[in-house]
């Protein structure tokens, strides 16, 4: 396994920046520069801090440095018949595990297999004072100390520089199929829920406005039982649609048009009442929307439905990109930010203004 | 006995009469206990070796009363220890000698079972098992099932990030909680998380879960419910030595099978359980594995055949498949009764909770045997084999002077062994007061400082559960003087005296 540990150098760079009050923009290979509010500050480059540190298939644990490309991890895992269950999206070939974890991104399998934060077991992290810290570990059950690894997952680098991550991995399914069914959105997601309750191995459920798409992953017998239960037509290649959805390569994502929004909603929600083209994933709990609606309108509708919205691509990247926080939660964010990054130099403003 | 709290954690100035007067105004009727006799049941939790009387016990009935208690304590600079059912095995709910013990036992209502959306809304004092019982008519259940589930509360489960025997497949509490509403030490109510699958901003829900009552007091919880698997099979396999059983566990997982439960017991644990519940366990075996497979009927059948084949390949000569619900329950009964079964063969026992990478099992068991011989104390092992969580039970007699102290010391050595092989001091029971010294071995100074800074962000006065979970650097300096970690002293930058 390769040895490219730049942890000490990176920690020194952060410590120097803290001394000088220089804001840092933490960057792996830049595949997610479009995400969050406009990046600002001197680039702290993690791309060379790369490589798998430890992978023990029978322990179901993999540890890798932040700059390791997802493709490299997936290749190593598939050699041992395993996978990252949260199905991280690839935004181009350059996506790294560090960026994925910092942004807390999960793919279509998430409702049934868990999210990036669910699968994280431990983390090495540089705080805003340039201190190299280690939390969690390489075992599945571990409750020693506050769960900083999960707290930092999805914090967009504003609490610390993710150096290494340890995560739980799982066996690849023995069989997988992708089905197309002529259900409406509401009926379709209800049918998927009933299939899941019947013990069938659902691993994806999306609706593009025309058709319901369902993926089943498990033993051959279980997948066959799912096909019998749900019916519909099978895709020739069970991965094509789901990878295109995961990586935002479907027309909804690639066509020209207004800002792309993500809505994260409670189970079986009402359909969002917003103009524009929409695709529902996660059994109806994640919606992708291309809309001209104002941020206030989208945030308002997400709140009404009991969830939250993110302006994912395009739109005003200087304003609020993530759902504004309630005053009490906002206050906790400010204090937690100060606890990790007292000088406010790590990705300042990438998540919220002032954080 | 002397207080287990350190002097540095007891630097509060408490005017008890004024505290009683103020809390008496905040709480209605008999919700404040001040007499020793009435407070006695609260002096310890499930780890009864540690005892401490609080100044008073407050048992509020409404969220408003909780807010008033916290506001009052914040204004008077008085520590607060929250308590659910008091089943903690790490003295997490041990009272503070200068503080208020805040019992949430009266928050025992299930507020809603939303069976369509598979969400339960609960008050923190609801018992773990009661959630699954309430969800059962809809074919649903709540997955984390600590062995104390008949008594332990969901509030305590969230505070400790409780586990159970199904964690490998279904996760810990942190994977099953959607939202908590809590009161911060200054009396403010905040809701963290949501019914959606994620929330904007920092994952504060992950920080709260397992924070051992040190960040806020939880007053309402939403958890997700799962459908009962249509089919469950339970297998029991006997092995001639523990290492072979460990290899079989690795073999099952390497074959791509994630069982719903995968438990191991060693010879002495098998014998104790068999004598107690007569489960029909093979008492001559050095180890048994109990494997639960769940899913659709077809799926379970395929997996069962595969697992049986693997168990045989890995050297088990006695493999049994439970033929009916009675037998399934019997296979589990011995495992689930392992602790009380051990309680019958020894006046007292002390349960340890380390996690190790599974491949280190044989080495750890061998080293534990040496420690057991050195200390002259017997150790019996039950093991969540799927996820590497060990529960060695040290047998001792609390009436023999000094034996509890030796047991504690042996427990500490076992935890340090877990750290040395790349594991952790606590898989699911929490640090509490019990494992606080070993935190100095597992974490370095910057990590501990960061924990303290995070605590300070929620509770700047340091009033919630002081002296637990996160050791002070002074404590580590004193404890660390006796320990060397990876060839160097931990926290070398602290003056030693």
The predicted-structure confidence for A248-290, as pLDDT tens digits, reads as follows 999 999 999 999 999 999 999 889 999 999 999 999 999 999 9
Out of B117, B355, B443, the one facing A267 most closely (by C-beta) is: B117
- Distance from C-alpha of A23 to C-alpha of A36, rounded to nearest angstrom: 16
Judge whether residue B37 has pLDDT over 80.
yes
Assess: ipTM above 0.95: yes
In order of A22, A179, B286, B355, B370, the CA distances from A138 in angstroms are 34, 37, 28, 10, 26
Looking at residues A207-232, what average pLDDT do you find? 95
The predicted-structure confidence for A149-189, as pLDDT tens digits, reads as follows 999 999 999 999 999 999 999 999 999 999 999 999 999 99
Smallest CA–CA distance, residue B400 to chain A, in Å, is 31
* Nearest Cα residue to B9 out of B94, B104, B103: B94
Taking an 8 Å cut-off on Cβ atoms, the answer to whether B302 and A221 are in contact is: yes
Contact residues on chain B for A228, CB-CB shorter than 8 A: none
What is the reported pLDDT for B2? 64
Phi-psi region of A50 (alpha: psi -120 to 50; beta: other; left: phi over 0): beta
Phi-psi region of A36 (alpha: psi -120 to 50; beta: other; left: phi over 0): left
Query: Do A16 and A130 touch, CB atoms closer than 8 A?
Result: yes
Looking at residues B153-173, what average pLDDT do you find? 95
- Distance from C-alpha of B165 to C-alpha of B161, rounded to nearest angstrom: 14
Looking at A31-35, A72-76, B334-338, which range is the least confident one?
B334-338
B373: which 2 tokens?
A: 């011989």
What is the reported pLDDT for B492? 47
Query: Do A218 and A174 touch, CB atoms closer than 8 A?
Result: yes
Q: State whether residue B144 sits within 8 Å of chain A by CB.
A: no
Taking an 8 Å cut-off on Cβ atoms, the answer to whether B210 and A143 are in contact is: yes
Judge whether residue B481 has pLDDT over 80.
no
A256: which 2 tokens?
A: 């020209």
Query: Do B280 and B335 touch, CB atoms closer than 8 A?
Result: no
Taking an 8 Å cut-off on Cβ atoms, the answer to whether B203 and A57 are in contact is: no
Q: State whether residue A288 sits within 8 Å of chain B by CB.
A: no
Q: In B369-445, at which residue ranges do the beta strands (DSSP E only) sit? A: 379-384, 389-396
Judge whether residue A121 has pLDDT over 60.
yes
Higher pLDDT, B403 or A269: B403
Strands B100-103 and B80-83 come out as: parallel
Looking at residues B364-378, what average pLDDT do you find? 94
- Distance from C-alpha of A233 to C-alpha of A211, rounded to nearest angstrom: 11
- Distance from C-alpha of B403 to C-alpha of B398, rounded to nearest angstrom: 6
What is the reported pLDDT for B483? 53
Taking an 8 Å cut-off on Cβ atoms, the answer to whether A197 and B227 are in contact is: yes
B409: which 2 tokens?
A: 């010391």
Query: Do B248 and B311 touch, CB atoms closer than 8 A?
Result: yes
* Nearest Cα residue to B384 out of B424, B413, B333, B427: B427
- Would you give the DSSP letter of residue B42? G
- Distance from C-alpha of B130 to C-alpha of B135, rounded to nearest angstrom: 9
Q: Which of A146, A163, A220 is the mutation pick for testing B, counting most B CBs within 10 A?
A: A146
Determine the 3-state secondary structure of B141 from DSSP: strand
Query: Do A57 and B357 touch, CB atoms closer than 8 A?
Result: no
The predicted-structure confidence for B431-459, as pLDDT tens digits, reads as follows 999 999 999 999 999 999 999 999 999 99
Share of chain B above pLDDT 90, in %: 88
Judge whether residue B496 has pLDDT over 50.
no
Strands B119-122 and A260-264 come out as: unpaired
Bridge partners, A64 (sequence order): A52, A165
Taking an 8 Å cut-off on Cβ atoms, the answer to whether A332 and B422 are in contact is: no
Smallest CA–CA distance, residue B75 to chain A, in Å, is 20
Share the mean pLDDT of chain A: 96
What is the reported pLDDT for B479? 86
In order of A84, A172, B28, B151, B192, the CA distances from A81 in angstroms are 11, 5, 61, 41, 37
Residues 6+ away with beta carbon under 8 Å from A91:
A31, A32, A34, A247, A248
What is the reported pLDDT for B495? 44
Out of B196, B359, B444, the one facing A306 most closely (by C-beta) is: B196
Contact residues on chain B for A266, CB-CB shorter than 8 A: 117, 119, 194-196
Higher pLDDT, B414 or B343: B414
Higher pLDDT, B484 or A158: A158
Which of the four pLDDT bands, split at 50, 70 and 90, describes residue B90? very high
Interface A-B: count of C-beta contacts within 8 A: 263
Instruction: Report helix angle B338-345 to B267-277, nearest 10.
Output: 90
Task: Please name the residues between 289 and 308 in chain A that touch chain B, using a CB distance below 8 Å.
Answer: 306-308
Looking at B5-9, B38-42, B132-136, B332-336, which range is the least confident one?
B332-336
Strands B100-103 and B56-58 come out as: parallel
- CA-nearest residue of chain A to B138? A197
Contact residues on chain B for A115, CB-CB shorter than 8 A: 197-198
Q: State whether residue B232 sits within 8 Å of chain A by CB.
A: no
- Distance from C-alpha of B443 to C-alpha of B319, rounded to nearest angstrom: 42
What is the reported pLDDT for B497? 41
- Distance from C-alpha of B399 to C-alpha of B410, rounded to nearest angstrom: 18
Taking an 8 Å cut-off on Cβ atoms, the answer to whether B296 and A222 are in contact is: yes
Task: Please name the residues between 377 and 406 in chain B that touch chain A, using a CB distance below 8 Å.
Answer: 384, 387-389
B69: which 2 tokens?
A: 């208690």
Judge whether residue B493 has pLDDT over 80.
no
Which of the four pLDDT bands, split at 50, 70 and 90, describes residue A3? low
Taking an 8 Å cut-off on Cβ atoms, the answer to whether A143 and B172 are in contact is: yes
Which of the four pLDDT bands, split at 50, 70 and 90, describes residue B296? confident
Instruction: Report helix angle A327-340 to B445-458, nearest 10.
Output: 160
Looking at residues A73-79, what average pLDDT do you find? 98
- Distance from C-alpha of A347 to C-alpha of A355, rounded to nearest angstrom: 9
Q: State whether residue B146 sits within 8 Å of chain A by CB.
A: no
Share the mean pLDDT of chain B: 93
């Amino acid at each position: 396994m390769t040895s490219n540990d730049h942890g000490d150098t990176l920690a020194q760079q952060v410590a120097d920046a803290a001394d000088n009050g220089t804001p840092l923009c933490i960057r792996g290979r830049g595949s997610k520069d479009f995400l969050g509010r406009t990046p600002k500050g001197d680039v702290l480059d993690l791309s060379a801090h790369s490589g798998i540190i430890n992978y023990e298939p029978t322990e179901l644990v993999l540890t890798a440095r932040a700059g390791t490309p997802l493709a490299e991890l997936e290749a190593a895992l598939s050699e041992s018949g395993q996978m990252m269950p949260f199905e991280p999206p690839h935004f181009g070939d350059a996506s790294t595990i560090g960026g994925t974890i910092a942004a807390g991104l999960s793919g279509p399998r998430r409702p049934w297999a868990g999210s990036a934060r669910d699968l994280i077991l431990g983390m090495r992290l540089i705080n805003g004072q340039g201190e190299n810290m280690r939390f969690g570990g390489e075992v599945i059950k571990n409750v020693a100390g506050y769960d900083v690894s999960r707290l930092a997952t999805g914090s967009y680098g504003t609490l610390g520089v993710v150096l290494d991550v340890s995560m739980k991995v799982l066996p690849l399914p023995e069989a997988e199929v992708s089905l197309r069914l002529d259900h409406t959105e509401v009926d379709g997601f209800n049918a998927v829920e009933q299939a899941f309750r019947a013990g069938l191995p659902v691993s994806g459920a999306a609706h593009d406005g025309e058709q319901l798409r369902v993926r089943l992953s498990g033993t051959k017998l279980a997948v066959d039982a799912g096909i019998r239960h749900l019916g519909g037509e099978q895709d020739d290649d069970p991965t094509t649609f789901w990878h295109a959805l995961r990586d935002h390569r479907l027309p909804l994502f690639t066509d020209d048009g207004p800002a792309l929004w993500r809505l994260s909603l409670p189970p079986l929600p009402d359909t969002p009442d917003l103009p524009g083209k929409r695709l529902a994933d996660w059994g109806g709990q994640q919606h992708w929307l291309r809309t001209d609606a104002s941020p206030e309108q989208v945030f308002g509708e997400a709140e009404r439905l009991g969830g939250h919205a993110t302006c994912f691509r395009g739109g005003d990247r200087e304003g609020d990109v993530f759902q504004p926080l309630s005053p009490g939660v906002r206050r906790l964010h400010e204090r937690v930010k100060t606890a990790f990054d007292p000088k406010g130099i790590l990705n300042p403003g990438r998540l919220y203004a002032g954080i | 006995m002397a207080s287990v709290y350190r002097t540095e954690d007891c630097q509060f100035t408490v005017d008890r009469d004024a505290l009683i007067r103020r809390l008496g105004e905040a709480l209605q009727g008999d919700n404040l206990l001040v007499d020793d006799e009435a407070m006695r049941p609260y002096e310890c939790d499930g780890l009864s070796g540690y005892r401490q009387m609080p100044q008073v016990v407050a048992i509020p009935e409404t969220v408003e009363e909780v807010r008033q208690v916290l506001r009052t304590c914040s204004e008077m600079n008085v520590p607060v220890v929250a308590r659910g059912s008091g089943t903690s095995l790490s003295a997490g709910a041990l009272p503070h000698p200068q503080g208020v013990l805040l019992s949430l036992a009266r928050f025992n209502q299930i507020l809603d079972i939303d069976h369509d959306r598979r969400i339960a809304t609960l008050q923190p004092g609801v018992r773990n098992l009661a959630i699954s019982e309430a969800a059962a008519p809809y074919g649903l259940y709540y997955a984390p099932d600590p062995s104390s589930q008949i008594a332990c509360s969901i509030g305590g489960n969230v505070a400790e990030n409780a586990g159970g025997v199904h964690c490998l497949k279904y996760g810990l509490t942190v994977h099953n909680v959607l939202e908590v509403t809590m009161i911060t030490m200054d009396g403010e109510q905040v809701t963290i998380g949501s019914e959606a699958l994620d929330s904007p901003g920092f994952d504060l829900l992950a920080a709260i879960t397992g924070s051992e009552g040190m960040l806020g007091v939880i007053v309402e919880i939403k958890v997700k419910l799962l459908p009962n698997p249509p089919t469950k099979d339970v297998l029991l396999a006997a092995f001639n030595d523990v290492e072979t059983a460990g290899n079989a566990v690795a073999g099952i997982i390497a074959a791509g099978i994630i069982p719903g439960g995968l438990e191991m017991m060693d010879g002495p644990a098998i014998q104790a359980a068999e004598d107690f519940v007569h489960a029909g366990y093979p008492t001559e075996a050095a180890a048994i594995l109990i494997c639960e497979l769940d899913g659709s009927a077809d799926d379970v059948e395929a997996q069962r055949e595969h697992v049986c084949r693997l168990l045989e390949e890995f050297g088990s000569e006695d493999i049994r498949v439970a033929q009916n619900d009675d037998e399934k329950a019997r296979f589990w009964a011995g495992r689930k009764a392992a602790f009380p079964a051990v309680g019958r063969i020894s006046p007292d026992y002390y349960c340890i909770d380390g996690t190790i990478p599974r491949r280190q099992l044989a080495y750890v068991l061998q080293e534990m045997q040496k420690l057991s011989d050195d200390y002259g104390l017997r150790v019996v092992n039950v093991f969540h084999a799927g996820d590497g969580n060990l529960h060695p039970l040290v047998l001792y007699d609390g009436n023999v002077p000094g034996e509890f102290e030796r047991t504690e010391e042996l427990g500490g050595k076992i935890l340090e062994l877990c750290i040395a092989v790349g594991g952790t001091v606590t898989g699911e029971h929490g640090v509490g007061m019990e494992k606080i010294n070993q935190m100095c071995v597992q974490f370095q100074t910057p990590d501990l400082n960061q924990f303290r800074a995070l605590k300070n962000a929620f509770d700047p006065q340091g009033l919630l559960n002081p002296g637990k979970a996160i050791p002070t650097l002074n404590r580590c300096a004193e404890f660390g003087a006796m320990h060397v970690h990876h060839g160097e002293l931990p926290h070398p930058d602290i003056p030693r005296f």
